[in-house]
Amino acid sequence: MPVDSSALPWWGWLLFGVGGGLASLAASRTVDNTENGAWAMAWWLVRIITGLGSLISFAVGLFHFTKWAWS
């Protein structure tokens, strides 16, 4: 079920964006990239999902901040 973008204030979306970016960074530091196997692929998937989620959250936060600042 999609999340309504007005469910959080603009600063909440920005906070989730930064938090997701930090989680993605932590996941990238967890496993050595030269290691092969299922665990390396699982951590790669976690990095991709959290990275994309943080970018989307940050973009929504910037949009709502701009809308709030403009009015």
Q: What is the pTM of this model?
A: 0.79
Q: In Å, how far from its chain's centre is CA 33? A: 21
State the average pLDDT for the chain: 84
pLDDT tens per residue across span 7-26: 788 899 999 999 999 988 88
Return the pLDDT at 22: 92
CA atoms in the 13 A half-sphere facing the CB of 48: 6
Alpha carbon distance 38, 31 (integer Å): 11
Return the pLDDT at 7: 79
Token pair 């990095």 is found at 47
- pLDDT higher than threshold 90 for residue 40: no
**What's the alpha-carbon Rg for the chain, to the nearest Å?**
15
